[in-house]
Amino acid sequence: MKELSQEEWSKQLQDDNNAVILDVRTEEEVEEGYIPGAKIIDIYKGQEFVDEVEKLDKNKNYYVYCRSGKRSAQACNILDQLGHANSYNLEGGFMNWKGDVEDNT
């Protein structure tokens, strides 16, 4: 796992043709908005989260975020343990996100 600042995360994501964005927040949090193109897998779902992560392509680069950056750091560690080579945690999480946002309305 690598911790990336908001700016580093955005720049690297923009230049990465092998990127997948993972939002590991709860459904309620996602209703407040999300980063466009994000795949949503709630880390609080425990084994269900692990099962979903195990289905993901290990050759992709995962850009992971939550509300503040703590759960996404945990998610990156899980990705690493399951053999995913590249995971990037968004420092400060969605609370500090300055990029594009989609909402569910």
Active site amino acids: 66
Q: Which two tokens stand for residue 88?
A: 């990037």
Going along the chain, which residue ranges are E strands?
A: 2-4, 19-23, 39-40, 61-65, 86-90
Contact (CB, 8 A) for 73 and 48: no
